[in-house]
Amino acid sequence: MKTKKTPVPDGKTKIEKNFYLVDATGKTLGRLASNIARILLGKHKPCYVPYADTGDFVIVVNAEKVKVTGRKITDKVYYRHSGYLGGLKKETFMSLMEKSPETIIEHAVKGMLPHNRLGRALLKKLKVYRGPNHPHEAQKPVALEIK
C-alpha cells in the first residue's frame, strides 16, 4: 500500500504571504510577542517547516498602549553594549516607553524568534507603529484579535 506524503514547501513553490493587523491596546507584552512570533514563523499554517520562511507579515499599531504586569514598569531594564570598554548602556522600561515604544515590542518578539539568519529575516516582516495609523493600507491587512 502506497502512502501519501505530506507536502513540504521547497524553494520553488510560492507561499502566499498575508498581512495581519494587531492592535496592542491593553495587551500584555509577553503574550502579544509570543503570538506575533508564532505568526511570523508561520506556525499557524499547515505548510510550516522550521527551516523555511512560511510566515506572514504583522503590523502592530498603538505600541505605546501595551501593558506589563507587576513592577516591570519601574524595575525592567534593557541593556545594550557598544563593544567598547565601559560601553554598557542601561535603560528602564518607562524611559524606553516614552522615547521609543516600538523598540519594546520588537525586542520582545526578537527574543522569541530563532537566533540565526532566518530569525533576522523574519524580524523584517514585523512593522510596529506608535499610533493607530500605518502606511500599509494598500496591502489590505486583516485585523487579528490576540487575547
The β-bridge partners of 90 are: 79
At 57, list the grid cell. 507579515
9: three-class secondary structure by DSSP: coil
SS3 (DSSP) at 18: coil
pLDDT of residue 6: 74
CATH number, domain 19-68+100-143: 3.90.1180.10
Per domain, the residue ranges of the chain are 19-68+100-143
C-alpha 76/C-alpha 72 separation (Å) is 5
Average pLDDT, the chain: 94
Can you give the pTM of this predicted structure?
0.92
* Separation in Å, CA 11 to CA 6, 39, 108, 136: 16, 20, 29, 27
The residues, ordered by sequence, that sit 6+ positions from 29 with a Cβ below 8 Å of its Cβ are: 66, 67, 68, 104, 105, 108
Q: Is 90:78 a contact under the CB 8 Å cutoff?
A: yes
Q: What's the rounded mean pLDDT across residues 103-128? A: 98
Burial of 128 (0-12, 13-18, 19+ CB in 10 A): buried
pLDDT in tens, 6-64: 777 777 778 899 999 999 999 999 999 999 999 999 999 988 999 999 999 999 999 99
